[in-house]
């Protein structure tokens, strides 16, 4: 599937008070070691630090949705994707310390084969749009990179320049990664936006 824009970046849109409150909500929820889907059985999770090495907290606090949802809808409209979006998963707040990272992955395929979980309250919808918000500074590494795949061509790697307070939105089928932290601690918030499968 081709789109005109591979991502939409909002610069310096999250004030410090909102960033701090999101981090306080995450701390209250409690961080735990992140898991990934098992390659052989996508219905189960596993801890694989070669793929993903970070700590995460989850929240359904309406305060966070009120802050982040307008960026999803704004990007969906301004980038021209116009995806049918009607469900939001719990917001994930990630904490990356030295040497922690998340290898190349997609958040979803956006089709019938990428159904998130047909048994949960989402009713078998699929991930269509992903959002990542940068909640901190003072770290080195931890760069978000995107990879565009076109049949018969080498991947094109994109390097969006993100800093504290920035929010990026991109289709969930786009490959992306967070490079290893070499100094400091990175905090980010991620949200996945769902809708009916692409036809």
How much is the pTM? Answer: 0.89
How many domains would you assign to the chain? 1
pLDDT digits (tens, 9 = 90+) for 59-87: 999 999 999 999 999 999 999 999 999 99
In a domain, 85, yes or no: yes
**Pairwise CA distance, residues 159 & 145, whole Å:** 5
Q: Write the pLDDT tens digit of every residue in 113-172.
A: 655 554 455 578 999 999 999 999 999 999 999 998 877 788 899 999 999 999 999 999
Residue 60 lies in a domain: yes
Is 84 part of any domain?
yes
118-124 own/partner pairs: CB under 8 Å, 24+ apart = 122/87, 122/89, 122/194, 123/87
Range of the domain at 80: 9-29+53-174
């Amino acid at each position: 599937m081709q789109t005109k824009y591979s991502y939409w970046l909002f610069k310096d849109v999250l004030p410090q008070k909102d960033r701090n409150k999101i981090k306080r909500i995450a701390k209250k929820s409690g961080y735990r070691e992140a898991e990934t889907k098992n390659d052989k059985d996508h219905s189960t999770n596993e801890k694989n630090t070669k793929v993903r090495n970070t700590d995460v907290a989850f929240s359904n606090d309406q305060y966070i949705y009120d802050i982040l949802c307008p960026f999803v809808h704004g990007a969906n409209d301004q980038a021209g994707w116009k995806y049918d979006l009607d469900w939001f998963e719990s917001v994930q707040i990630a904490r990356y310390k030295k040497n922690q990272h998340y290898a190349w992955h997609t958040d979803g395929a956006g089709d019938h084969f990428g159904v998130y979980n047909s048994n949960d309250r989402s009713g078998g919808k699929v991930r269509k749009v992903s959002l990542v918000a940068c909640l901190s500074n003072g770290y080195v590494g931890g760069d978000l990179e995107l990879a565009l795949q076109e049949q018969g061509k080498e991947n094109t790697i994109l390097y969006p320049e993100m800093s504290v307070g920035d929010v990026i939105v991109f289709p969930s089928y786009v490959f992306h990664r967070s490079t290893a932290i070499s100094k400091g601690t990175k905090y980010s918030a991620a949200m996945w936006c769902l809708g009916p499968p692409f036809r």
